[in-house]
C-alpha cells in the first residue's frame, strides 16, 4: 500500500509530521481527519521531489463574512430540500469570491467521491477552522446539519464583529503613534542638525549648553550618523523577541504580561474568557462531546494560561468532577461567571448559559474599549506634545540663555 508523508495540525494548534499508509491521496486525507488531525500537506513518498522546487503559492485568505454567508446559504439550501452535493455545486458557481469558489468546488468533488462533508472541509484548514469542522461533524452525526451550519455562521459573525470593533477602536491611537514617531524622527534628523553649527559657536565662545540641549544633540547625532545601524539593531531585537515569543515559555510569559497591562489587561482577560465560553457553549449545543469541546475551546481562547486551566478541567471531568471546580481554582475566570457556570451545571443548561455569559462579557468589553480609547487618545497627544516640546526647548533654551547673558 502506498505511503504518504503528511504535515497536520492538532486540535491544540500544534503542528505534527508523520507517515500514513493509504490507498490514495484522498483516502490518506480521510484517515488523518478520523484521527482528529487537520491536514496541511499530504505528499506521496514515492513522488520525486525536485531540489529546485520552491513553493511560492500563498493561499489567499477568505474573509470571515464570506465564510459565514456561505455557511448560511448552504444551510438555507439544505433546509429547502436541496441535496448536499447539488447545494455545494450551486454555491461554488455563485460565490463572488474566487478562492471560495475553488474551495467549494474541491469540497464538492470530495463529497461526490464518498468523503464526509467534515472530512472534505478539513482539507482546507486555512478556510474552515477546527471549530467549524467539529460542529459540522456533530451536525452530520446528529442529523441537524442545517441548524449546525447556521449556528457556526452566527458565531463567526459575532466574533468578526467584536474583532472589527477592537480594530476600529485602536485605529486612531495607532495612527497617532505612527504620526508622532514620524514627526519626532524628522525633527531630530532634519531640523536639529541645522542648529549644530550655532551650538558649536556658542561652546567655542565659552557659553555652556543646557543639559536638555546636550541630550537632544546626542540623540540627533546618533540618528543622523548611525540611523541605519540603530534601525538594524532595533529590527534584530524585534526578530529575537518574536522568536522567543513563539516558544512555549515566551507564549506563557506574554500571556501573563498581557493580563497585567494597565487598561488593556482586563480587556485581554475578558476577551479570552468570552471566547472560551462562546466556543464551548456553541459546541455543546451542537452535540460535540464535552471533552472534545473543552479541547477545542481551550485552544480557541487565545491565552495559554486559560488553556492550561481548561485542560486541567478536562482531566477532572474524566475523573468524574465538575467543570467549575478546576476553573474556579485557577483564578482566571471571574467569580460571577463561575457562579453562573455552577448553577448551569446543576440545571443541565450549560450550553445556553455559556453563550449568554459570552454575550454579556462582549458588551462589557465594548464599554471598556470605549473607555480605554478615550484615555489613550489624550495620553498619546500629551506624549507627542511632550516630545515636540522637548525638541523645541532643547533648541531655544541656549538662545534664551544667550540673550539673558547679553542683557
Count structural domains, the chain. 3
Assigned domain for 59 exists: no
* C-alpha cell recorded at residue 2: 502506498
Residues 139 and 218 in one domain: no
Find which of 22-26, 46-50, 94-98, 287-291 is predicted with most confidence, using mean pLDDT: 94-98
Taken in order 146, 148, 150, 153, is the CA torsion positive or negative? negative
Assigned domain for 57 exists: no
Q: Which residues, 6+ apart, have CB-to-CB distance to 22 below 8 Å?
A: 1, 2, 4, 28, 30, 31
65-99 burial string, b = 16+ CB within 10 Å, else e? ebbbbbbbbbbebbeeeeebeebbbbbbeebebeb
Which of 130, 157, 184 is the last residue in one of the domains? 157
Instruction: For residue 360, name the pLDDT band (cuts at 50, 70, 90).
Output: confident
Residues 262 and 194 in one domain: yes
Q: pLDDT for 108-119, tens place per residue?
A: 888 888 888 888
Provide mean pLDDT across the span 132-146. 78
Residue 77 domain boundaries: 64-157
Q: Which residues, 6+ apart, have CB-to-CB distance to 284 below 8 Å?
A: 290, 293, 350, 351, 354
Which of 157, 184, 205 is the last residue in one of the domains? 157
Instruction: For residue 327, name the pLDDT band (cuts at 50, 70, 90).
Output: confident
Q: pLDDT for 68-90, tens place per residue?
A: 999 999 999 888 888 888 888 89
Residues 292 and 143 in one domain: no
What confidence score (pLDDT) does residue 405 get? 59
Instruction: For residue 53, name the pLDDT band (cuts at 50, 70, 90).
Output: very low
Q: What angle do CA 337, 343, 345 make, to 5 degrees?
A: 100
Assigned domain for 55 exists: no
* C-alpha cell recorded at residue 83: 441535496
Residues 262 and 285 in one domain: yes
Q: pLDDT for 264-282, tens place per residue?
A: 888 888 888 888 888 888 7
Residues 83 and 163 in one domain: no
Assigned domain for 284 exists: yes
Give the 3-state secondary structure of 205-249: CCCCCCHHHHHHHHHHHHHHHHHHHHHHHHHHHHHHHHHHHCCHH
Q: pLDDT for 305-320, tens place per residue?
A: 888 888 777 777 766 6
Assigned domain for 175 exists: yes
Number of residues in the chain: 407
Residues 113 and 206 in one domain: no
Residues 338 and 189 in one domain: yes
Residues 213 and 68 in one domain: no
Nearest to 173 by CA among 378, 386, 401: 378
* C-alpha cell recorded at residue 355: 453563550
User: Is the pLDDT confidence value at 237 over 90?
Assistant: yes
Residues pairing with 43 in the sheet: 5
CA distances from 362 to 159, 170, 366, 368 (A): 10, 17, 6, 10
Residues 360 and 249 in one domain: yes
Provide mean pLDDT across the span 43-61. 51
Q: Looking at residue 113, which CATH number applies to its domain? A: 1.20.81.30
Assigned domain for 260 exists: yes
Which of 96, 128, 157 is the last residue in one of the domains? 157
What confidence score (pLDDT) does residue 42 get? 72
Residues 206 and 196: their CA atoms lie apart, in Å, by 15
Nearest to 133 by CA among 117, 146, 144, 147: 117
* C-alpha cell recorded at residue 184: 519626532
Assigned domain for 306 exists: yes
Judge contact between 358 and 340, C-beta under 8 A.
Answer: no
Residues 204 and 345 in one domain: yes
Residues 84 and 190 in one domain: no
Residues pairing with 44 in the sheet: 4
Residues 206 and 282 in one domain: yes
Assigned domain for 257 exists: yes
Provide mean pLDDT across the span 137-164. 81
Amino acid at each position: 500500500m502506498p505511503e504518504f508523508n503528511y504535515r497536520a495540525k492538532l486540535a491544540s494548534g500544534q503542528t505534527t509530521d508523520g507517515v500514513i499508509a493509504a490507498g490514495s491521496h484522498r483516502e490518506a486525507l480521510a484517515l488523518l481527519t478520523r484521527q482528529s488531525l487537520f491536514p496541511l500537506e499530504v505528499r506521496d513518498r514515492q513522488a520525486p521531489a525536485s531540489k529546485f522546487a520552491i513553493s511560492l503559492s500563498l493561499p489567499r485568505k477568505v474573509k470571515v463574512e464570506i465564510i459565514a454567508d456561505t455557511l448560511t446559504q448552504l444551510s438555507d439550501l439544505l433546509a429547502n430540500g436541496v441535496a448536499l452535493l447539488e447545494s455545494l455545486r450551486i454555491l461554488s458557481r455563485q460565490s463572488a469570491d474566487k478562492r471560495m469558489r475553488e474551495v467549494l468546488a474541491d469540497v464538492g468533488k470530495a463529497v461526490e467521491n464518498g468523503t464526509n462533508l467534515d472530512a472534505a472541509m478539513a482539507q482546507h484548514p486555512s478556510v474552515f477552522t477546527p471549530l467549524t469542522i467539529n460542529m459540522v461533524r456533530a451536525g452530520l452525526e446528529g442529523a441537524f446539519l442545517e441548524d449546525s451550519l447556521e449556528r457556526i455562521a452566527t458565531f463567526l459573525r459575532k466574533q468578526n464583529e467584536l474583532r472589527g470593533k477592537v480594530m476600529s477602536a485602536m485605529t486612531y491611537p495607532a495612527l497617532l503613534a505612527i504620526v508622532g514617531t514620524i514627526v519626532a524622527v524628522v525633527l531630530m534628523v532634519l531640523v536639529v542638525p541645522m542648529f549644530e553649527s550655532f551650538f558649536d559657536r556658542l561652546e567655542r565662545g565659552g557659553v555652556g549648553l543646557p543639559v536638555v540641549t546636550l541630550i537632544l544633540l546626542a540623540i540627533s547625532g546618533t540618528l543622523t550618523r548611525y540611523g541605519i545601524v540603530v534601525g538594524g539593531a532595533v529590527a534584530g531585537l524585534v526578530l529575537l523577541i518574536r522568536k522567543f515569543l513563539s516558544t512555549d515559555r515566551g507564549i506563557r510569559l506574554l500571556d501573563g504580561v498581557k493580563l497585567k497591562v494597565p487598561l488593556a489587561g482586563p480587556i485581554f482577560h475578558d476577551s479570552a474568557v468570552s471566547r472560551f465560553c462562546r466556543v464551548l457553549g456553541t459546541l455543546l449545543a451542537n452535540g460535540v462531546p464535552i471533552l472534545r469541546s473543552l479541547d477545542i475551546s481551550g485552544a480557541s481562547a487565545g491565552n495559554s494560561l486559560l488553556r492550561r486551566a481548561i485542560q486541567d478541567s478536562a482531566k477532572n471531568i474524566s475523573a468524574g468532577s465538575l467543570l467549575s471546580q478546576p476553573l474556579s481554582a485557577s483564578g482566571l475566570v471571574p467569580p460571577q461567571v463561575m457562579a453562573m457556570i455552577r448553577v448551569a451545571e446543576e440545571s443541565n443548561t450549560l450550553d445556553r448559559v455559556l453563550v449568554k455569559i459570552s454575550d454579556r462579557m462582549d458588551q462589557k468589553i465594548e464599554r471598556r474599549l470605549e473607555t480605554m480609547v478615550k484615555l489613550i487618545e489624550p495620553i498619546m497627544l500629551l506624549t507627542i506634545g511632550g516630545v515636540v516640546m522637548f525638541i523645541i526647548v532643547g533648541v531655544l533654551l541656549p538662545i534664551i540663555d544667550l540673550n539673558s547673558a547679553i542683557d
